Every structure is written in C-alpha cells, then in structure tokens.
Amino acid sequence: MILHTLLDYDTLRIIWWLLIGVLLVGFAVTDGFDLGSGILLPFAARTDLERRVVINSVGPVWEGNQVWLILGGGAIFAAWPQLYAVSFSGFYLAMFVILTALILRPVAFKFRSKRESPQWRARWDWVLFFSGFVPALICGVAVGNVLQGVPFRFGADMHIFYDGGFFGLLNPFAILCGLVSVAMLVMHGASWLLLKTAGAVAERARTYGIVACVLTVVLYALAGVLLATSIGGYRISSVVDAVGPSNPMLKTVELHAGAWTANYAAHSWTLAAPVLGFVGALGALLGLVLRRPVLALLAAALGIAGIILSVGASMFPFILPSSIDPRASLTVWDSSSSHLTLFIMLVVTAIFIPIVVAYTTWVYHVLWGKVDEKAIREESGHAY
C-alpha cells in the first residue's frame, strides 16, 4: 500500500497510457511479420512447396504472437473503459471484419493441406492473403480516423452515441494511413522471410520488401505532411485537472490547425518517435539490399514502433477525440479507471509481462533457423 500511495493518480494514468502503446507495438511487431508474410504468400512463393515453406515459417509462432492483441484489448477494457466502449461500439463493423480475417487465418493453416487439389490449396492461399491484408489495412484506417476525430458524443446521462457509419471511415487520409500500415507490415514480413527461408522465396520476398520499405518512407512522410498542414488537431483550452474524475465533459476543447504537431515543438524529445519510424524503415531497406536479414528484421521492428509511437506523441493527452463534440474527447486525464484499479493492474502487469516476454524469447530461440524444403517434404504429417 505504500507503493500505491507513492504512485499518484496522474502518474498511473501516464504509465497506463504508455503501457497501451507498448502493447500495441508488441502486437504490431510480433504479429506484424505474420500478417506481412500472409500478404506476400501468393507473390513471394509460386509453387505449392514454396508456399508451404512460407506458411511453416510462421506456423509455430503466429498463435503465440496474438497474445499481445488479447493483452491490448483487455488492458483497454480495464484501464480505459470509456475508450473501450466508444471504439468497440463505434468501430464495431470494422472490428468484426478484422476478427473475421483473424479467425479465417487458423482455419486456412489447418485446412489448406488437407487435400492435394491445387484449386483447394490456391483458395486457402488467398484466404491467408486476405487474413493478412485486411487487418493491416483496417487498423491503419482506424488510426487515420482517430487522428481526424471520431463522430461520437455523450448524452445528458453520459450515454454514448456514435453517429458515424462504416463507409464513412474510408476517407482519403484514413486510406492513406491504411496503406502506410500495409506497407510497413509487408516490409516486416519480407524481412522475416529473408531470415527464415532461402532460395527463390527469400529473393522474391527481398524484392517486394525493398519496394515496401520505400513505400513506407514515402507514404509515412506524406501522411505527416498532411497531418501538419491539412488535418486539424485538438487542444484543451481549459484548465487540466490531472487527478480529476473520469468525466470527459468537464473540460473545454477546440479544433486547432497544427495541434497535432504542437507536442514536437514544445517537447523536442518527442521527435524521437517519427525519426525512429524513418530510420527504422531505411535501416530495413539497407538490410534487405545487403541481404542482412537480422538487421532488416530488427530495423523494421524499430520502424513500426516509431510509426505507432509517433501517433501517441502527436495526440497526447488525447486518446480519442470527438469530431462532432470536441468537449466529449477522451484524454489521459478524464477517461481512465480508478486509482486503485490502475494500481492493481500495474502490479499484475509487472508480474506477467516479463513472463510473456521470457517465454516468447525462449520459443524464438528454440525455433531459430531457416525452414527447409526437404524437411517439409519428409515431415508432411507434422508440417502445415
């Protein structure tokens, strides 16, 4: 209880804002190369055996990687209940499509090789492409909409109303953000395939990865320019109570051009996030060009982390701004759970996250090495 007293409410709110970012980065980095490999499957692998090599390169690890998605969803539910309520209801159809794609992925893994028919296997290969491309695109589209503001409001009884629709999410800036997401995950998936495969598959993946690296840099830069010049941001124009109650309606918010770049001007250290995004993508490009898969994979992971963290750095202290009632916007200071809840969750997280990281590290150590075509042929009863 002494630690509970030392950790003030505002400190815990910042810690959990940071932890949500860590969990999102963890999911994007670990499951990202799975999704990227799925997107590349029909293009980097041409024969049935080559495609089985790609599938088996992620087969032993993809399921464990999704732990980060479950942790992220659970953390949002417990630490930021209003964020969970607005986003999971407002983006319901979009999330349904994502979950459909993620559910189809294990089905495709399990059923693809149940029959020898080339048509049967080709259909499941395109399902794997779909299950990689769609989540990557829609997650980026969601981020693009969050940066522009989401059409929700609170009623007099704090009931949440979402006034948007699914197709309204598909605006030009959001689609651009979706393409950034797809490009960076293809970059990551190509780096993974260069590490885990050999021969024609690795070379084709390397070629596509180089293109994806360039697209990541160009599209991310374009999104940044539009965010600074054309997309209005939000700022709190009233006094901020960092330890106040979780009631978003107690503040005043205004739309302001260039608000999303204000943090970079006020706190220069936040520039580390977008810089890391560019440096990571360029490092991945260098690793792919030089055929250094470890460099490419690590740099791609850093680039993904930088791109995601730059969104949080731009928006702080906003978590989910409202485009129709800016005062209803959710911020770090007025949409969290109670002081005690955040503290208990922090203790649990401090115990179990190191266990997850240690176990994941051990699994990757055990499975280190390239997927061999000969082994796929000889162990058809065990391989995908």
User: For the chain, what are the domain ranges?
Assistant: 2-378
Residue 2: band (very low, low, confident or very high) from pLDDT cuts 50, 70, 90: low
179-204: average pLDDT: 95
- How does the average pLDDT of the chain come out, rounded? 89
Nearest to 138 by CA among 77, 82, 91: 91
Higher local confidence (pLDDT), 372 or 44: 44
Rounded distance, CA 42 to CA 102, Å?
18
58-71: average pLDDT: 83
Q: Tell me which residue has tokens 């162990």.
A: 379
Residue 279: band (very low, low, confident or very high) from pLDDT cuts 50, 70, 90: very high
Q: Tell me which residue has tokens 């918010």.
A: 253
- pLDDT exceeding 90 applies to what percent of the chain? 55
Residue 118: band (very low, low, confident or very high) from pLDDT cuts 50, 70, 90: confident
- With a CB cutoff of 8 Å and minimum separation 6, the contacts of 211 are none
Rounded distance, CA 50 to CA 46, Å?
6
Q: List residues bridging with 236 in a β-sheet.
A: 253
At residue 369, what is the residue type?
Answer: G
Higher local confidence (pLDDT), 374 or 250: 250
| pLDDT of res. 285 | 97
| pLDDT of res. 3 | 56
265-278: average pLDDT: 93
Nearest to 224 by CA among 277, 298, 171, 188: 277
In our burial notation (b when 16+ CB lie closer than 10 A, e otherwise), range 68-102 reads: bbebbeebbebbbebbbbbbeebbeebbebbeebb
Please determine, for residue 275, whether its predicted confidence score (pLDDT) is greater than 60.
yes
Exposed, middle or buried, 67 (CB in 10 Å: 0-12/13-18/19+)?
Answer: middle
Q: Tell me which residue has tokens 């792919």.
A: 288
Please determine, for residue 6, whether its predicted confidence score (pLDDT) is greater than 70.
no
Per-residue tokens: 261: 């770049």
Question: The domain at 2-378 falls in which architecture?
Answer: Up-down Bundle (1.20)
- Work out the widest C-alpha separation in the chain, in whole angstroms: 68
Nearest to 330 by CA among 314, 342, 315, 318: 318
CA dihedral over 66, 320, 303, 213, signed as positive or negative: positive
Whether 61 and 363 have beta carbons less than 8 Å apart is answered as: yes
Rg for the chain (alpha carbons), in Å? 22
Q: Tell me which residue has tokens 């006034």.
A: 163
Q: Taking each helix axis as running N to C, give the angle between helix 92-111 and helix 118-148, from 0 to 180 degrees, rounded to the nearest 10.
A: 160
Q: Tell me which residue has tokens 């009233």.
A: 238
- pLDDT exceeding 70 applies to what percent of the chain? 97
pLDDT in tens, 317-328: 999 999 898 999
16-44: average pLDDT: 92
Per-residue tokens: 293: 């898969």
| pLDDT of res. 70 | 84
36-62: average pLDDT: 90
Residue 144: band (very low, low, confident or very high) from pLDDT cuts 50, 70, 90: very high
Residue 19: band (very low, low, confident or very high) from pLDDT cuts 50, 70, 90: very high
pLDDT in tens, 226-238: 998 888 889 998 8
Rounded distance, CA 331 to CA 199, Å?
50
At residue 111, what is the residue type?
Answer: F
| pLDDT of res. 60 | 82
SS3 358: helix
pLDDT in tens, 326-382: 999 999 999 999 999 999 999 988 998 898 889 888 888 888 888 877 777 766 555
Higher local confidence (pLDDT), 246 or 282: 282
Per-residue tokens: 83: 């964020």
